[in-house]
Structures are given as structure tokens and as C-alpha cells.
Structure 1
Amino acid sequence: MIKEIIVVEGKDDVAAVKRAVDAELITTSGLGITDKTIEKIKTAAKNRGVIVFTDPDYAGEKIRKIISQKVPGCKHAFLPRELAMKDKDIGIENASVEAIRDALSKVKTEVFGRNEFTMDDLYKYGLLGEENSSILRDKVGAILGIGYGNGKQFLNRLNRYGITREEYESAIKKSKEN
């Protein structure tokens, strides 16, 4: 049983997560997240902790951002995009039990005011400025459990989720082995 309450977007996500782990869940009803739902999330965060586990798409990122702003200190789990795809649909509901368990095993807690990494770190290892930078960021993000993001988002996640330099360099090395 996962101690924290997992926040997902919809009922299909609830079903997929429940197939993978024993946990309580809250749904946001997608971008229609209400003040009442935010209050539920705040209560859950105070009493048991919360893991935000939204779809790896624009709407999922927007919901994650809303929750992070209104309920500081949440934990976050990220599912790699390619593991959330079925036909042209992207969402947690499409992921395998193993992919969901793996994402939830790499939960990250937000850290504020940290600036360990700069854009130079992304350029240095080819995560920016190269033809395959997007693919490399996707691989490194999956290894680190921080998901995919453009250069600015990726840098933000490196700093916000407390990734160490050792973890970063190890993930880059591992991503280039595959």
C-alpha cells in the first residue's frame, strides 16, 4: 500500500493505477480541476502526503503546475511519453502495470530555490543544441524519473526535484549506452 494519495486526471487513470498498486486516489477531472478538488488535495497532503501523477502531455503538465502552485510540497511521478501511448492517445490509462510501478518508484519531491544546474550543463552533454537533443532529454528524463520537457522545463525539473550532479551524469552515460 502506498502511503500517499495519488492524484490523477480521470477515472481511466484510476483503474490503471489500481491495477498496478494498492493506493487511494483523487481525480482532477482533467483541466476542470475545481477549488473543491484542490481542497481535497490540500487535506490529503497535510494528512498523508500526495503524489501528483498526471499524463505526460500539455494538459497533464498544466494540471501538475496548478496543483504545485496551490499545494506546495507535493511529490511527483512522471511516466515517459512512449510508455503512455496507445494509437495516438497519450495517458496513464494506456501504460502497463510495470511502467506505472516504475514511475511511482521514482517519485520526486519538490525543492525550492535550488540552482545546481544551468543551461550550460544541458549544452555540455548535448541535451540542448544538438539534432537529437530532444530524444536525449526524453531518455535522461525517463532514467531520472522527471519526465520529458523542453530545455527550459528540463532544467527547471533538474533543479526543482533535487537531482544531484552524480545522478545527472550517470543518467546521461546510461542513456548513451542504449
Structure 2
Amino acid sequence: MKKRIKEIIVVEGKDDISAVKAAVDAEVFQVNGHAVRKNQSIEKLKTAYENKGLIILTDADYAGEEIRKYLNKHFPNAKNAYVPRKNSTKNEDIGVENAKVEDIILALEKARCNFEVKENNIFTNDILFEYGLIAKENSFELREKLGNELGIGYSNGKQLLSKLNKYNISFEEFEMAYNKIKNITD
């Protein structure tokens, strides 16, 4: 059974997500390399940073280090995990996606990540249905507005359920955000 990590792991690209998820059970956020400076990644990561913490796991190359520096400027208390260049190189391509499972786990352990023992799932599909966030005509719009209000971005129903629980969003915080968007929508 994979170890479950509390913090959100921040990586550069989609292949990195696959490599990390093969190693551990964790929420992984992709910043799309240097595009992190142009897109909304920083805003989306703020809630995760404040509620769960971040672990930055970028490639062991110049671009990866530049992205790491940029993220550390915005999130000074983020933990940093490093897979050494020699353990993340394949055919002269350096990247987390090339690392072995055990090397990724070791890097995360050395970053002093927090392993979750028990999952505390406050939110369920029944709650999402009750609030009209799934299986209703305007569910898409409500999820989009709620995601923006909570600072977790748009999600489909399954992703929303996962984010609400994994980012440790309280029911009170959820209801306040929901009531705010409902007043705007109504």
C-alpha cells in the first residue's frame, strides 16, 4: 500500500504527476514549467499552501531550479524535495518523470513530508448533490464559482469532492463560500 502524503506536491508537468502517483498517494499539482509565471497557478496554490502545505519537486536541471526559486518566493514555508540528477536522467533527459519510485519516495522522506495516517473525509457525494454541485442543471456553474471562491479552481464533481477533503476545507468555510456564490447566482 502506498504511503499517503498530507501536503500537495508541486511538479512541472503531467509526466511528473504520473511518476509521483506511482510512488505515493498524494494530491499533485502541475505548474506547466515556466508557464507558472503566466498562468493562475500561484493563486490556485495559495489555498493548498495555507491548508495543507506544499512540497516542491522540480527537475534537477536549470529550468527546474528556476521554477523552484520562483515558487519558493511565493511560498517561503514550502518544503523542497530533490531527486538527484543521476537518479532522474534517462537518455540525457533530466526529469522527475525518469526517477524510480524508490528515489521519489526517498526525496519526499528527506523533505520531511507528513504522512497521513487517517483520512478525514467530511464531504461526500450526498453533500455535493444536496448543494446542487452535481447532477443538476447548473452544477457546472456552481462548481466553477465555488472553486473560485475557495481558491481551488474549477473541478468536475469527483475532483471537487477530492479537493474539499484533501485541502482540509472545513464545512463552515464551504458553507460560507457556497452562501456567498448562491447570493450572487440567485
Q: TM-score, normalised by structure 2?
A: 0.57
Counterpart amino acid of residue 102 in structure 1: L
In the TM superposition, what is the alpha-carbon distance from 1:12 to its structure 2 partner?
Answer: 0.1
Distance 1:98 1:20 in 2: 7
Corresponding letter in the other structure for 2:19 = A
In the alignment of these two chains, the number of paired residues is 109
SS of the residue 2:63 aligns to: helix
Unpaired runs of 5+ in structure 1?
110-178
Deviations 1:82-126 (A, max 9, x none): 0000011000000000111111110069xxxxxxxxxxxxxxxxx
CA distance in 2, matches of 1:100, 1:70: 24
Partner of 1:176: none
The CA distance in 2 between the partners of 1:69 and 1:35, in whole Å, is 16
Quick check: 1:74 aligned with 2:78?
A: yes
Match of 2:19 in 1: 16
Deviation at 1:35, TM superposition (A): 4.7
CA RMSD of aligned residues (A): 1.3
| 1:27 counterpart (24, 30, 33) | 30
Distance 1:35 1:70 in 2: 14
1:97 paired with 2:101, answer: yes
Percent identity for Structure 1 against Structure 2:
53
The within-5 A match list for 1:6-155 is 6-33=9-36, 34-107=38-111
Q: Secondary structure at the residue paired with 2:104?
A: helix
Q: Which of the pair has more CA radius of gyration?
A: 2
Structure 2 unaligned spans of 5+: 114-186
Residue 24 of structure 2 aligns to which amino acid in structure 1?
V
Higher relative contact order (CA 8 A, sep 6+): 2
- Aligned mates of 1:35, 1:88 — CA distance in 2: 29
* Corresponding residue number in structure 1 for 2:176: none
